[in-house]
Structure 1
Amino acid sequence: MQSVHVLRHPNLRRMLTANLLSGIGDWFNSVAVLSLLMELTSGAMAVGITLALRTLPHLLFGPLGGVLADRWDKKKVMIFCDFARALLALSFLLISSADDIWLVYLGTFSLVAFSSLYQPSRLSILPHLVEPEELATANALDQSVYGMVMAIGSLIGGIFIALWGTEAAFVYNSLSFLLSGILIMRLAFPRPDRSCPSPSTPQASYRDVIAFAAHTPIVRSILLMTALWPIGGGIINVLISVYAYQVFQAGEMGIGLFYGAIGVGFILGGLAADRFAKKLYKTSFWSLSLEGVALILTSMAPTIYVAAVCYALSTIAGGIGNASLRTLLMQHVRSDYQGRVFALEATVSNVLIGLSMLAGGWLLSFAEPRLVGFAAGTCVTLFSVVIGWSLWRASRKSVVRKLGSA
């Protein structure tokens, strides 16, 4: 299997392990923070503020993370961010009463801020850990790790906190960042490190990067897709808990079932993505369209178990599509622009998801959940079909131009 072959690279194994450890720590921290807020405040306002603070730092620090990724040593940026997060994660241990809630807000904002600085370097360093022909498989494995984090976090996060308490979760989160930083320190590049441009190379500005993306049809289509998907995707995120509680009356068990199904879907989607590495354009078009169709079917599911299967199917397709789009970006964006392109993608996506979640909460205050879910799934499907088709056409034109210039 190609994924097993790619894992022969120790650098990739270290990176994926670091992602797994810190991702599970993040999940444990999120569950622990929400549990602590409900225990200390018994109100939804503090929860809403905390969730909002998980979005705002992407807007403020995401673009800076892109600049650091393109102009600084990516490895050093990631190590610094990991060790900073290891210290910040321990700040939650100081919370003992409702008067300390400001520490929750400050700690949450700071953790996400450093994550925003970390992510562009993490994504743009991946092409330097494997051979070019292995890039699609590496992205597929990265997608599977994301699914493992979600599946493990949803299945045992609540159990872990119930057995050992929120303080143990905060300590684990700190240790996970510490271990991640140590693993990143061990990254070594057998080939000349291409992660930073030569000092003699003129430094491009964000305006240059945006102009490049706007005038490169394939890159433009991918970024447009990642900007439009959150319009429906954020509402889908809100509906997970609404379906569990209001539609199927399954409570926390239903939420765990749905997140577990979503995580398993990402794992399977990532494992399957490398099988389509030679047909990335067609794969991204069909898989993302099928994701939207599966979300529509979720809104019509007669039982919670059928809904969970539909969620799993949607993320299998979405995992394949996301891995394909990410690989295409890495192939078509020049090395010294990748950090800022990924930063722009993440910033726009996270901000729009946050706004979409707010809109979803407002819609659900007067509209039936299944109807809202059907509308959100339809949006995802339509955007995927239209943008996916334009991406497919851009790829065909690119092939024609290459043949004409040959």
Structure 2
Amino acid sequence: MLTNRYVRTILLSRVLLQLGIWIRNFAILLYISDITHNNPQYVSLISVVETAPIFIFAFIGGTFADRWRPKLTMVWCDFISAITVFIVLLAVRSGSWYALLVGTFISASLSQFSQPSAMKLYKKNVPADGLQGVMAMSQSLVAIFMVLGPAIGTFIYLKYGIEASLILTGVLFLGSSLVLTSLPKDDEEEVSSGSSNFLKELTSGLRYVQSNRALRTLSLTFGVTGLAAGLVQPLAIFIAIEKLGLSKESLQWFMMANGAAMLIGGIVIMGIAKKVKPQFLLATGLLVSALCTIGVGASTLVSVTLILQIVSGLFYPCIHVGIQTLIMRNTEGPFMGRVGGAITPIFMGMMLIGMALSGYLKDSTSLFTVYVLSGCLLFAGVVLLGPLLKKKQASAKQQAM
């Protein structure tokens, strides 16, 4: 796969981008945590600005990726992200830390235009039988940086500070843009006329989801699991500080353990995915995640919390593989992009609501209560999958007869 020029170049670009993103995200997390004295509302706001663009621009970015030249789109998105980081650096030097949130939002928004363009180039220039391997490689890259990223980001911030972290981030984004310029020039036919109406495309996708029972079920499951994820994602740092009595910098080790387990779990799931029905794979992943989430909220022991993070990471690929397989099996080819564009914002929108509420819920109740609520929502996701589970069981009985 690495002999393919497009795969090699885009993956190198993604290595630089992932490194820059992790350095930026952890530097901002630790810096804002320092200057706000671990204020949970400001800490949760960081996660909101990192995630909101996925909800806002997921469908828009996919639509424009089909209308714009993919190489040019990727180059300019990374270049503008780099310039934005340097502008934010100037603002931080003048004492305005809110600029960190604005800059992160802009950079994350641009990635929603860049990522679909990369997928478009893969589809056009990678043989059909090699696409699955390329996607697996891309997912493995993300998992690797979930292991290495927190440690690298924390080390650079603690050793050199926020300004150095931002400078390095800007350089890495700029490097990604330069790497992408080595791709062959975009073909003229890759640019569509753009005559199709955006609102009609969106409405068509929503109607298709509404008319498909399996996709409706997945949408509901997406919604509750997104809310569950959003409630606890910004509060992980408080598990380390309040529950375990550790420093906020220790969060990196739990994230690294979780990321390493995800990498191992992904490899295992790739081997058994064809033997297990996707709906059972998804239900198992949600059930284990629910138990682990409640356990993490209750645990006051480092060893127990670490084990729960590892177990959760091992089963997370069940959720990812189950969801993607169910969407592919229950969606007609011409609607794949629009269905993804319609369903993904449901998950991200509910996740954003959870993130926005998490800090307030923690202040008004307790950290444990928020984690229990998140776990209960994941259990609800398993219950909502009931129609799909019953449908497949009924089909199996009919085949047996």
Alignment TM-score, normalising by the size of structure 2: 0.81
Distance 1:16 1:267, change over 3 A: farther
CA distance in 1: counterparts of 2:252 and 2:310, whole angstroms:
13
TM-aligned CA deviation for residue 163 of structure 1: 2.5
Any idea what the Cα deviations from partners look like across 1:285-313, whole Å, max 9, x if unmatched? Answer: 32333222332333344511221221121
Structure 1's unaligned 5+ residue stretches are 1-5, 402-406
Structure 2 matches for 1:252-401, cutoff 5 A? 252-278=248-274, 279=276, 281=278, 282-301=280-299, 303-330=301-328, 333=331, 337-387=335-385, 389-392=386-389
The unaligned stretches of length 5 or more in structure 2 are none
Distance 1:209 1:83, change over 3 A: same
Which of 64, 67, 84 aligns to 1:68? It is 64
Question: How far off is 1:349 after superposition?
Answer: 2.5
Spell out, residue by residue over 1:188-247, the C-alpha distance to the aligned partner (whole angstroms, 9 max, x if none). Answer: 79xx99988899999862111222222234444434332221111112213312211111
Bigger mean CA offset, 197-206 vs 119-128: 197-206
State whether residues 136 and 327 of structure 1, in contact with CA within 8 Å, keep that contact through their aligned partners in structure 2: no
AA of the residue aligned to 2:141:
V
State how 1:6-17 maps to structure 2 within 5 Å: 11-17=6-12
Distance in 2 separating the partners of 1:352 and 1:157: 28
Counterparts in 2 of 1:22 and 1:199: CA distance versus 1, 3 Å: closer
Query: Which amino acid counterpart does residue 372 of structure 2 have in structure 1?
Result: F
Residues 333 and 195 (structure 1), Cα distance of their counterparts in 2 relative to 1, 3 Å cut: farther
SS of 2:324 mapped into structure 1: helix
Q: Please give the alpha-carbon distance, in whole angstroms, between the structure 1 residues aligned to 2:394 and 2:179.
A: 42
Aligned to 2:160: 164
| CA distance, structure 1, for counterparts of residue 190 and residue 333 of structure 2 | 7
Aligned to 1:24: 19
CA contact (8 A) 1:141 1:270 kept: no
Distance 1:140 1:316, change over 3 A: farther
**1:155-304 paired onto structure 2 within 5 Å:** 155-185=151-181, 205-278=201-274, 279=276, 281=278, 282-301=280-299, 303-304=301-302
Partner-residue secondary structure (3-state), 1:95? helix
What residue in structure 2 maps to residue 404 of structure 1? none
Segment drifting more, 35-44 vs 153-162: 35-44
Q: In 2, are the aligned partners of 1:69 and 1:339 still within 8 Å (CA)? A: no
8 A contact 1:50–1:104 mirrored in 2: no
Q: 1:115 aligns with which of 111, 115, 124?
A: 111
Structure 1 contact 231–379 (Cα < 8 Å) conserved: yes
Q: In the alignment, what sits opposite 1:100?
A: 96
What secondary structure does 2:363 align onto?
A: coil
Q: Deviations over 1:304-347 (max 9, x none)?
A: 12212211211221123213423543565456644444344443
Identical positions, percent = 21
From the superposition, tell whether residues 343 and 149 of structure 1 become closer, same or farther in structure 2 (CA, over 3 Å): farther
Structure 1 residue 99: Cα displacement? 4.6
Aligned-residue CA RMSD (Å): 3.9
Deviations 1:102-141 (A, max 9, x none): 5334322321221233344445665556555655554443
The one-letter amino acid paired with 1:309 is I
Q: Is the 8 A contact 1:238 1:360 kept in 2?
A: yes
Q: Does 1:153 align with 2:135?
A: no
Amino acid at match of 1:283: L
Aligned 8 A contact 1:144 1:268 in 2: no
Paired residue type of 2:283:
F
Q: 1:229·1:380 contact (CA, 8 Å) conserved in 2?
A: yes
> Structure 1 residues 285, 56: closer, same or farther in 2, change over 3 A?
closer
Deviates more, 1:34-43 or 1:207-216: 34-43
- Structure 2 vs 1, CA of residues 32 and 199 (structure 1 numbering), >3 Å: closer, same or farther? closer
State the AA in 2 paired with 1:242.
F
Alpha-carbon distance in 1 for matches of 2:43, 2:300: 31
Q: Which range is displaced more, 158-167 or 20-29?
A: 158-167
Q: What is the letter of the counterpart of residue 294 of structure 1?
A: C
CA contact (8 A) 1:209 1:337 kept: yes
Aligned letter for 1:291? S
Which stretch of the first structure deviates more once superposed, 196-205 or 67-76? Answer: 196-205
Contact 2:44 2:235 in 1 (8 A): no
In structure 1, what is the Cα distance between the partners aligned to 2:173 and 2:119? 17
1:82 is matched with 78
Maintained 8 Å contact 1:266/1:315: yes
